[in-house]
Amino acid sequence: MSPVRGLALAAIACAALIGCSEETTEVVKAVPIGAHDRCKMCGMVIVHYPGPKAEIFIKGADGEAVKFCSGRDAFTFALQPENARRLIGFFIHDMGKTGWEKPDDAALVDATKAVYVYGHDVDGVMGNEPVAFTSQDKAQEFIKKHGGKLYAYKDVTLELLDK
Protein backbone atom coordinates (compact mmCIF):
# COMPACT_ATOMS: atom_id res chain seq x y z
CA MET A 1 0.00 0.00 0.00
CA SER A 2 1.34 3.45 -0.86
CA PRO A 3 2.10 5.87 2.00
CA VAL A 4 -0.48 8.35 0.66
CA ARG A 5 -3.20 5.71 0.54
CA GLY A 6 -2.31 4.51 4.07
CA LEU A 7 -2.44 8.08 5.37
CA ALA A 8 -5.81 8.65 3.70
CA LEU A 9 -7.24 5.44 5.21
CA ALA A 10 -5.91 6.43 8.65
CA ALA A 11 -7.52 9.88 8.34
CA ILE A 12 -10.86 8.31 7.38
CA ALA A 13 -10.66 5.88 10.31
CA CYS A 14 -9.88 8.73 12.74
CA ALA A 15 -12.78 10.79 11.41
CA ALA A 16 -15.13 7.83 11.82
CA LEU A 17 -13.98 7.23 15.40
CA ILE A 18 -14.34 10.90 16.30
CA GLY A 19 -17.84 10.94 14.81
CA CYS A 20 -18.81 7.90 16.83
CA SER A 21 -17.55 9.31 20.09
CA GLU A 22 -19.44 12.59 19.90
CA GLU A 23 -22.35 12.70 22.31
CA THR A 24 -25.62 14.02 21.07
CA THR A 25 -27.20 16.53 23.39
CA GLU A 26 -30.79 15.69 24.10
CA VAL A 27 -33.05 18.62 24.81
CA VAL A 28 -35.83 17.79 27.25
CA LYS A 29 -38.63 19.91 28.61
CA ALA A 30 -40.66 19.62 31.77
CA VAL A 31 -43.92 17.73 31.41
CA PRO A 32 -47.04 17.99 33.58
CA ILE A 33 -47.34 15.70 36.57
CA GLY A 34 -50.41 13.56 36.00
CA ALA A 35 -53.18 12.73 38.46
CA HIS A 36 -51.99 9.12 38.75
CA ASP A 37 -48.21 9.59 38.51
CA ARG A 38 -46.30 7.90 41.32
CA CYS A 39 -43.03 8.85 42.96
CA LYS A 40 -40.08 6.79 41.71
CA MET A 41 -38.60 6.61 45.23
CA CYS A 42 -41.57 5.89 47.49
CA GLY A 43 -44.45 4.97 45.17
CA MET A 44 -46.86 7.57 46.57
CA VAL A 45 -49.32 9.32 44.23
CA ILE A 46 -47.50 12.62 43.69
CA VAL A 47 -50.40 15.06 43.49
CA HIS A 48 -51.90 13.90 46.78
CA TYR A 49 -49.26 15.81 48.76
CA PRO A 50 -48.25 19.46 49.16
CA GLY A 51 -44.86 21.01 48.45
CA PRO A 52 -42.49 21.09 45.50
CA LYS A 53 -42.37 18.16 43.12
CA ALA A 54 -39.66 17.27 40.62
CA GLU A 55 -38.94 15.22 37.53
CA ILE A 56 -35.75 13.92 36.00
CA PHE A 57 -34.83 12.69 32.56
CA ILE A 58 -32.04 10.12 32.28
CA LYS A 59 -30.39 8.38 29.35
CA GLY A 60 -31.94 5.00 28.77
CA ALA A 61 -35.44 5.94 29.97
CA ASP A 62 -36.76 6.41 26.41
CA GLY A 63 -37.49 10.11 26.96
CA GLU A 64 -39.88 9.40 29.83
CA ALA A 65 -39.71 11.62 32.90
CA VAL A 66 -38.91 9.95 36.21
CA LYS A 67 -41.19 11.78 38.66
CA PHE A 68 -40.92 12.50 42.38
CA CYS A 69 -43.23 13.63 45.19
CA SER A 70 -40.50 15.89 46.57
CA GLY A 71 -37.31 17.67 45.64
CA ARG A 72 -35.62 15.67 48.40
CA ASP A 73 -36.45 12.36 46.70
CA ALA A 74 -35.43 13.77 43.30
CA PHE A 75 -32.03 14.93 44.57
CA THR A 76 -31.50 11.62 46.37
CA PHE A 77 -32.13 9.81 43.07
CA ALA A 78 -30.17 12.26 40.89
CA LEU A 79 -27.10 12.22 43.14
CA GLN A 80 -26.68 8.43 43.02
CA PRO A 81 -23.58 7.80 40.86
CA GLU A 82 -25.40 5.46 38.47
CA ASN A 83 -28.02 8.17 37.82
CA ALA A 84 -25.80 11.27 37.97
CA ARG A 85 -23.81 10.18 34.93
CA ARG A 86 -27.03 9.58 32.93
CA LEU A 87 -28.81 12.80 33.94
CA ILE A 88 -30.02 14.84 30.96
CA GLY A 89 -32.72 16.97 32.59
CA PHE A 90 -33.86 17.89 36.09
CA PHE A 91 -36.92 20.07 36.72
CA ILE A 92 -38.33 21.24 40.04
CA HIS A 93 -41.12 23.58 41.14
CA ASP A 94 -39.94 27.15 41.64
CA MET A 95 -41.66 27.97 44.92
CA GLY A 96 -41.29 31.69 44.27
CA LYS A 97 -43.73 31.23 41.39
CA THR A 98 -46.29 28.82 42.81
CA GLY A 99 -48.09 27.87 46.00
CA TRP A 100 -47.03 25.18 48.47
CA GLU A 101 -50.33 23.30 48.74
CA LYS A 102 -50.77 22.52 45.05
CA PRO A 103 -47.76 23.55 42.94
CA ASP A 104 -48.52 24.58 39.36
CA ASP A 105 -46.54 22.62 36.76
CA ALA A 106 -46.05 25.86 34.79
CA ALA A 107 -43.55 26.66 37.58
CA LEU A 108 -41.32 23.65 36.84
CA VAL A 109 -37.84 25.08 36.18
CA ASP A 110 -34.39 23.77 35.33
CA ALA A 111 -33.11 22.61 38.72
CA THR A 112 -29.51 23.46 37.79
CA LYS A 113 -30.43 27.14 37.45
CA ALA A 114 -32.21 27.43 40.81
CA VAL A 115 -30.96 28.20 44.30
CA TYR A 116 -32.21 26.20 47.26
CA VAL A 117 -33.23 26.90 50.82
CA TYR A 118 -32.60 24.01 53.18
CA GLY A 119 -32.90 23.68 56.94
CA HIS A 120 -36.13 25.71 57.17
CA ASP A 121 -39.21 25.06 59.31
CA VAL A 122 -41.65 24.05 56.53
CA ASP A 123 -42.06 20.31 56.23
CA GLY A 124 -42.33 18.78 52.81
CA VAL A 125 -43.86 15.40 52.17
CA MET A 126 -40.51 13.73 52.98
CA GLY A 127 -39.45 16.05 55.81
CA ASN A 128 -37.02 18.90 55.30
CA GLU A 129 -37.10 19.82 51.65
CA PRO A 130 -34.62 21.64 49.40
CA VAL A 131 -36.93 24.45 48.27
CA ALA A 132 -36.09 25.83 44.81
CA PHE A 133 -36.18 29.46 43.72
CA THR A 134 -34.98 31.12 40.52
CA SER A 135 -35.13 34.49 42.28
CA GLN A 136 -32.58 35.20 45.02
CA ASP A 137 -34.99 37.81 46.42
CA LYS A 138 -37.81 35.26 46.76
CA ALA A 139 -35.39 32.83 48.40
CA GLN A 140 -34.34 35.50 50.92
CA GLU A 141 -38.02 36.27 51.67
CA PHE A 142 -38.58 32.58 52.37
CA ILE A 143 -35.53 32.48 54.67
CA LYS A 144 -36.80 35.52 56.62
CA LYS A 145 -40.14 33.75 57.22
CA HIS A 146 -39.00 30.16 57.69
CA GLY A 147 -35.26 30.14 58.37
CA GLY A 148 -32.81 27.93 56.54
CA LYS A 149 -29.71 28.51 54.50
CA LEU A 150 -29.20 29.27 50.81
CA TYR A 151 -27.42 26.71 48.63
CA ALA A 152 -26.42 26.60 44.97
CA TYR A 153 -27.53 23.54 42.97
CA LYS A 154 -24.03 22.05 43.13
CA ASP A 155 -24.02 22.36 46.93
CA VAL A 156 -27.09 20.18 47.46
CA THR A 157 -25.45 16.87 48.32
CA LEU A 158 -26.46 13.56 49.86
CA GLU A 159 -24.55 14.61 52.99
CA LEU A 160 -26.61 17.81 53.24
CA LEU A 161 -29.87 15.90 52.79
CA ASP A 162 -28.85 13.52 55.59
CA LYS A 163 -28.61 16.42 58.11
In 3D, which of 162, 9, 18, 150 has the Cα closest to residue 79? 162
Q: What is the model's pLDDT at position 134? A: 98
Nearest C-alpha neighbor of 115 from the set 79, 82, 154, 77: 154
- pTM of the complete model: 0.84
Determine the pLDDT at residue 43. 95
The answer, yes or no, to whether residue 23 has pLDDT greater than 80, is no
Higher pLDDT, 155 or 163: 155
Among 120, 97, 99, which Cα is nearest to 107's? 97
For residue range 69-111, list pLDDT tens digits in order.
999 999 999 999 999 999 999 999 999 999 999 999 999 999 9
Q: How many Cα atoms occupy the beta-carbon half-sphere of 58 within 13 Å?
A: 19
